[in-house]
């Protein structure tokens, strides 16, 4: 079972970049796939994964917008 300190850090850490958020998201997915979590922790990690996914999506959309602007010049 993953240690609670590892899980706590995953839940509290705010991403500073797309790459960091993506890495956190991957770690959460691996933890969830281990099937060794209690229900409460699994739900908390799922909520954090949803937030990280939204953050990554917004970062990618912003990057796409910037690329489109550069292509328009």
Query: What would the pLDDT profile of 1-37 be if each residue is shown by its tens digit?
Result: 566 666 777 677 788 999 999 999 999 999 999 999 9
Please tell me the pTM assigned to this model. 0.81
Q: Where are the alpha helices (DSSP H) in the chain?
A: 4-12, 18-33, 39-72
Q: Note whether 49 and 22 are within 8 A (CB).
A: no
Whether residue 65 lies inside any domain: the answer is yes
What's the CATH code of the domain at 67? 1.10.287
Domain that holds residue 23: 16-72
Task: Report phi then psi at 2, rounded to 5.
Answer: -60, 145
DSSP three-state, residue 6 = helix
Whether residue 5 lies inside any domain: the answer is no
Reading the block at residue 59, the tokens are: 């970062």
């Amino acid at each position: 079972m993953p240690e609670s300190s590892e899980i706590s850090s995953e839940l509290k850490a705010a991403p500073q970049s797309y790459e960091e958020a993506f890495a956190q998201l991957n770690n959460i997915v691996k933890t969830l796939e281990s099937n060794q979590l209690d229900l409460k922790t699994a739900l908390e990690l799922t909520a954090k994964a949803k937030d990280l996914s939204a953050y990554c999506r917004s970062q990618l959309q912003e990057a796409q917008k910037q690329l489109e602007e550069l292509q328009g010049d």
